Structure 1
Amino acid sequence: MGMNFSRKLPIPKEIKEQFPIDAKVVSVKENKDKELRDIFTGASDKFVLIIGPCSADNEDSVIDYVTRLAKVQEQVKDKIMIVPRIYTNKPRTTGEGYMGMVHQPDPEKKEDLIGGIISVRKLHARAVNESGLICADEMLYPENGRYLDDILGYCAIGARSVEDQQHRLVASGLTIPVGMKNPTSGDISVMLNSIKAAQVPHTFIYRGWDVTTTGNDTAHAILRGYVDSDGKSHANYHYEDMIQLFDMYQQRNLLNPALIVDTNHANSGKKPLEQIRIAKEILHSCRHSDDIKSMVKGLMIESYIEDGAQKIGEGVYGKSITDPCLGWEKSERLILDLADLL
């Protein structure tokens, strides 16, 4: 066979029993879940910032970063809800490169999936405990969601996964907001089909069970730009793009029309400093259109302690080992500027 079954992994229930969350994490999640849901349903007019490293590669530097965010959150809490981006699964276009903490708890060592699952759970629980914020991760592997569902506050479906049936069905069973990115081709109808699928109930096979979901009424759009057939990046965060999405939302009659704009990836051409300009342009569009303002719930920003990116093994503390990020000083200034503009 072309597949070797090395060892059976612990089921989520076993991991949760071995590494339980404490009362503080339970309380933070309950309160912050409601705050975030109110934003996506329109009950609150706060703005969401899903902000953090391209990949969570080191527990200490990620916790350092998240606790810095918690201090800034206190300064902007009347206008902005910060959701730290702690991405522990990384999709790779060619299947090569660092695939996240769930694969390699230590990026300089070989794969350790049991160690990865444990490290991911510990990291997310520690982040909530020490920051008082709920965090975001990407659903790269739908089967892994149960390892974190008692901790996680927000989930994103990536551009390469958004057409996958299992991702859509599992999203319909989550009780937290799930963002559906437009696919790498830029086809907005594919993203909207995913949102529709996630918003309605389903019955399907999941982790060996016959499961039924209730539908997720806070499944929503993420515009992240796209790449054409020649490999050239194109942005889709401009005023005209958002008006088009608003119109398409109305035609489809989806629940709680909402949009998060990803300021990096193809929208910035992976030039992280452009995120500052892009974020402010989006707020400018919100001021000029009530329709856009009602739909745009926030931004997704790639940010870490140090500007840019490094190769694995270079050892610069708080610097991304995947896509380049906006450094801390610029990120803090951007958050405060956005609060002033809201």
Structure 2
Amino acid sequence: MNMHANEINSTAQSTTAPSLSVETGLTRKTLPTPAELRGRYPLSHELTDRIAHHRREVSRILNGEDSRLLVVVGPCSLHDDAAALDYGRRLAEVARAHADTMLIVMRAYVEKPRTTVGWKGMVYDPDHTGTGDLAEGLRRSRHLLLRLAELGLPLATEALNPLVMRYLEDLISWTAIGARTAESQPHRELVSDLAMPVGIKNATDGSVDAAVNGMQAASQPHESIGIDDNGQVAALSTAGNPDTHLVLRGGRGITNYDTESVRMAQHRLREKGVNTRVMIDCSHDNARKQHQMQSVIAGEILEQRQAGNAGIVGLMLESFITEGRQDMSDEAAYGVSITDPCLGWDETVRLLQLLHNGLGSIPSRGKDMAMVADLVAS
């Protein structure tokens, strides 16, 4: 019996428990805190007030108190500081010319969701080398967004990593939650905490329920885990965001910008008791990955507005200096997207002028537009 016990003890001593850690070659680098980066690239009091004003303008459009069309337009992603600023200067001039019919907001996306792998945006890989440098990416992203905001343009971005938004949110006037993250609880908690309007896209299969549920969730207070301005992990108490809305972007094999699809989406929003006003993404699955289709879709949206659906309050366009897209290389052309293909500048100007002329023919009804939107959605 004692020998058996000794054998057991010997076996136990010679057998080591399996290790739960896996050697991956992981390295950790300390990043600047949000407060440090804001201190390096601060907003002036004037710019802070201007961004707050832009947010109020967007909110008024979403609530039917402003009859203008909200147009979010710009590159699929920002990858070249000089080209982004060149585009921004051009867009700021056009925005001023059309300010009575449209509130033009520049796409300023520094993070990109990937279906599998690929360039994830300026934040993660600012030099497009694939090696990644988050500290430099965060620095360059904030600096570029600050310079764009100083042009007088409202800026839009997609909230992909909730931690990244802590570094950039004070520069942004409108935020998107993408189709892949519409069901994500951390993103709903983030939206609940953002002091700006947020559009939530329908899911990649085209269904709107995830986005509608996200709107409901984000309107409520939440307790969540995040970081504070000093980079400390903290318990965050959010207040709830009253300014969320649905973005229709199509789905796998389907579009949802037509009159019936919009009506059905607005009916679903009404059933759930949330904002029935919608924005339509003219790119992505609505355009069936054909960037030239954006102009056609924008024209159809204008026709729906002219027919009385004031509940369509905005649209999104992917546009850059030169049409199309390219792979990143040492010989990359100036002003061409390295992610999704975009409309070129000349077509963008033509399209915005078309929208301006068409919207100018619609009598402005101010708050009466909200009544029209409710009737269409019912």
Q: Shorter chain as normaliser: what TM range?
A: over 0.9
* Deviation readout 1:65-88 (Å, 9 max, x if unpaired): 011011111111101001000110
- Counterpart code for 1:284: E
The reply to whether residue 111 of structure 1 matches residue 127 of structure 2 is no
Alignment of structure 1 residues 1-342 onto 2, 5 Å:
1=22, 2=24, 4-94=26-116, 96-108=117-129, 110-129=131-150, 131-207=151-227, 208-227=233-252, 233-254=253-274, 256-288=275-307, 290=308, 292-293=309-310, 295-313=311-329, 314-342=331-359
Post-superposition shift, 1:138? 0.6
How many angstroms apart in 2 are the aligned matches of 1:175 and 1:189?
24
**Runs of 4+ residues over 3 Å off in structure 1:** none
Post-superposition shift, 1:199? 1.2
* Deviation readout 1:249-280 (Å, 9 max, x if unpaired): 111111x3321100000000111111001001
* Deviation readout 1:24-82 (Å, 9 max, x if unpaired): 42232122222122111221111111000111111110111011011111111101001
5+ residue gaps, structure 2: 1-21, 228-232, 360-378
How many angstroms apart in 2 are the aligned matches of 1:275 and 1:149?
28
Post-superposition shift, 1:16? 1.0
**Percent identical residues:** 36
How many angstroms apart in 1 are the aligned matches of 2:100 and 2:50?
18
Matched residue SS, 1:149: helix
- Counterpart code for 1:239: T
Change in Cα spacing, 1:3 to 1:283, as seen in structure 2 (3 Å) is: farther
8 Å Cα contact 1:52-1:303 kept in structure 2 = yes
* Deviation readout 1:203-224 (Å, 9 max, x if unpaired): 1212221111111111110111
| Larger Rg over CA atoms | 2
Post-superposition shift, 1:3? 7.3
- For the aligned residues, what is the CA RMSD? 1.3
How many angstroms apart in 2 are the aligned matches of 1:34 and 1:243?
27
Post-superposition shift, 1:5? 4.1
8 Å Cα contact 2:119-2:130 kept in structure 1 = no
Alignment-derived partner of residue 230 in structure 2 = none
How many angstroms apart in 2 are the aligned matches of 1:173 and 1:5?
31
8 Å Cα contact 1:186-1:225 kept in structure 2 = yes
TM-score (norm 2): 0.85
Matched residue SS, 1:301: strand
How many angstroms apart in 2 are the aligned matches of 1:179 and 1:287?
23
- Counterpart code for 2:293: E
* Deviation readout 1:271-320 (Å, 9 max, x if unpaired): 111100100101212222x4x32x21110000000000011014210000
How many angstroms apart in 1 are the aligned matches of 2:25 and 2:259?
48
5+ residue gaps, structure 1: 228-232
How many angstroms apart in 1 are the aligned matches of 2:28 and 2:237?
31
Matched residue SS, 1:257: coil
Post-superposition shift, 1:185? 1.3
* Deviation readout 1:179-199 (Å, 9 max, x if unpaired): 101111112111110111111
Change in Cα spacing, 1:251 to 1:64, as seen in structure 2 (3 Å) is: same
How many residue pairs get aligned? The number is: 331
